[in-house]
Amino acid sequence: MSKAKRAFEIFISLSILSLIVTIVFALLIVEKVGDNHTNTIVTAVFAGAFLLFVSVAMAVMMTHSYFKCSCCNMEFKGRPFQVLVSMHSPSKRLVDCPHCGNRCWCEHEIK
Q: Under 8 Å CB-to-CB from 74, ≥6 apart: which residues?
A: 68, 97, 99, 100
User: Least distance from C-beta 73 to Zn ion, angstroms?
Assistant: 7
User: Least distance from C-beta 94 to Zn ion, angstroms?
Assistant: 12
Query: Do 78 and 50 touch, CB atoms closer than 8 A?
Result: no
* Total residues binding Zn ion (CB under 5 A): 6
Interactions with Zn ion, residue window 62-101 (CB under 5 A): 69, 71-72, 97, 99-100
If the CB atoms of residues 42 and 78 are measured against Zn ion, the closer one turns out to be 78
Q: Specify the 3-state DSSP secondary structure of 7.
A: helix
* Euclidean distance between CA atoms 12 and 14, whole angstroms: 5
| Contact positions vs Zn ion (CB under 5 A) | 69, 71-72, 97, 99-100
